Amino acid sequence: MNIWLAIALTAVGCYAVKLLGLLVPAGALERPMVQRMAALLPVALLAALTAQQTFGEGAHLILDAKAAGLAAAGAAFLLRAPFLVIIGVAVLVTAGVRAMAG
C-alpha cells in the first residue's frame, strides 16, 4: 500500500506545481531577469546532470572512460565539428578506453 500512497502523493504534488505555475501573474513572467533565468536554467540543469552522471559514483568522484569520452566530445566541439561527429568521437573514445582498460 505504501507504493500507491507514494504514487498518489506524487500525482497530487505534480498537479499542485502545475496549478501554481498557472496562477503566477503574467507581469511576473515578463520581467527580464525571469526570462533570462527561464532561458538558462535548462542548460544549467542539463550540465549538472551530465557532470553527475559522468564523474559521480555514489558519493565518490571517479574518472573513467566516460570522462575521456566527454573530454573528446568537448575537444571536437571546440573544433566546431558537426553534432554527429561529436557524438561519434565520444563513443569511439569511450569504447577505446574501455577496451584498453579491460
What is d(CA 51, CA 61) in angstroms, rounded to the nearest whole number? 10
pLDDT attached to residue 19: 94
What is d(CA 2, CA 7) in angstroms, rounded to the nearest whole number? 9
* Model confidence pLDDT, tens digit, residues 35-88: 999 899 999 999 999 999 989 888 888 899 999 999 999 999 999 999 999 999
What is d(CA 35, CA 30) in angstroms, rounded to the nearest whole number? 7
Residue at grid coordinates 578506453: 97
79 φ, ψ (degrees, to nearest 5): -85, 5
Whole-prediction pTM value? 0.63
pLDDT attached to residue 57: 86
